[in-house]
Amino acid sequence: MPEVSVVMAARNAENHIGEALVSLLDQTLDDFEIIVVDDASTDSTAAVAEALDDVRIRLIRLPDNRGAAGARNAGLRAALGQYVAIQDADDVSRPDRLARQLAYLKEHPRVDVLGAQIRVIDDDGEAVGRREYPTGHAAIMRVMPRWNPIAHSTVMTRTDLVIRAGGYPERMRAAHDYALWAELAGRGAVFANLPATLVGYRIHRDTIKTTQVYETLRNTLAVQRAYWGDSARPADRLYRAAENTLLLLPPGFSIGVFRLVRYRLPMLAAFIRSRLAPREGSRESPT
């Protein structure tokens, strides 16, 4: 049996799923399978996956649209690996992603859910931003009542842990990953993010990441109320108030603010840090 199962939910993803799958097939890790769950696509998504003709790809066709959470749960139930990784059908993994994450989880058996940093790419694969996430469990738990500190398409976790937690809540069309992390956190799971950028996270006009901003905000707030309620700190409550405000704004403006805060500002901060860092050869540089 493969050691790692990669679950990829796909719906009408013909434009990018080929590139996403090739990025996985080119991994330096040998022992893994890719479970593509075609969520009743009406385009050639399944045909693109089949055309790659690789024994590591297992294709599951759902007769009816179950949504991303339902499709991922179908993939989880079919997974043979002790570990399961998640990747969206329009994202791109670095060749060493699976090997590095598997090695980390083996070296740190107390860690249950492992993510990484992301590079934000556009429809053509060009970098347009970067998102940095806290790396240690304490830092992750400190911000989890406020925002989702785990990039879903970078995750590798222990398969039985997610199955025991009931998988993704299928009632939620967005933020179901955030709900799963909150559930696992309540069960005492340990989280970590690698400091390395291992995934190109694609943002484009038709993706759920931008078209369902309102639903993402509503579901995010629902998760926060369900799992943290009134126990949130003042900073957490202020953050939630700002998210509630976004729900009152016109869709185009809300999407712009959402993307600015999530991707553009982190990219600007990274640029400023890089300019302020000591340059190689200066007296402040380490020898």
Determine contact, residues 131/266, Cβ cutoff 8 Å: yes
Asked if residue 163 is part of any domain, the answer here is yes
Residue 110, token pair as written in the block: 């107390």
Asked if residue 126 is part of any domain, the answer here is yes
Separation CA 130–CA 212 (nearest Å): 20
Q: What does the longest C-alpha to C-alpha distance in the chain come to? A: 64
Amino acid at 3: E
Torsions phi, psi of 112, nearest 5?
-100, -40
Asked if residue 85 is part of any domain, the answer here is yes
Burial (CB < 10 A; 0-12, 13-18, 19+), residue 120, is: buried
Residue 31: how many CB atoms within 10 A of its CB?
13
Q: Which residues contact 203 (CB under 8 A, 6 or more apart)?
A: 120, 121, 122, 128, 129, 209, 210, 259, 263
Torsions phi, psi of 220, nearest 5?
-60, -45
Asked if residue 253 is part of any domain, the answer here is no
pTM of the model: 0.84
Q: Are strands 83-86 and 57-62 parallel, antiparallel or unpaired?
A: unpaired
Determine contact, residues 254/120, Cβ cutoff 8 Å: no
Strand (E) or helix (H) holding 62: strand 57-62
What distances in angstroms separate CA 102 from CA 84, 129, 233, one per listed residue? 10, 26, 35
Asked if residue 111 is part of any domain, the answer here is yes
Q: What was the pLDDT predicted at 280?
A: 43
Strand (E) or helix (H) holding 202: strand 191-202
Strand (E) or helix (H) holding 36: strand 32-39
Asked if residue 211 is part of any domain, the answer here is no
Asked if residue 75 is part of any domain, the answer here is yes
Separation CA 144–CA 178 (nearest Å): 9
Residue owning tokens 């690698």: 194
Asked if residue 115 is part of any domain, the answer here is yes
Residue 239, token pair as written in the block: 């953050």
Separation CA 215–CA 74 (nearest Å): 23
Task: From 266, 7, 275, select the one nearest 117 (Cα to Cα).
Answer: 266
Determine contact, residues 157/192, Cβ cutoff 8 Å: no
Task: From 55, 116, 105, 115, select the one nearest 83 (Cα to Cα).
Answer: 105
Instruction: Give the total number of structural domains in the chain.
Output: 1
Digitized pLDDT (tens) for each residue of the chain, 287 residues in all: 999 999 999 999 999 999 999 999 999 999 999 999 999 999 999 999 999 999 999 999 999 999 999 999 999 999 999 999 999 999 999 999 999 999 999 999 999 999 999 999 988 899 888 889 999 999 999 999 989 999 999 999 999 999 999 999 999 988 999 999 999 999 999 999 999 999 999 987 655 444 577 788 889 889 998 999 866 677 777 777 777 776 666 655 555 555 555 555 444 444 455 455 554 443 333 32
Q: What was the pLDDT predicted at 236?
A: 78
Q: What is the CATH number of the domain that holds 158?
A: 3.90.550.10
How many Å from the N-terminal Cα to the C-terminal Cα in the chain? 47
Give the residue numbers spanning the domain of 78.
Answer: 4-203
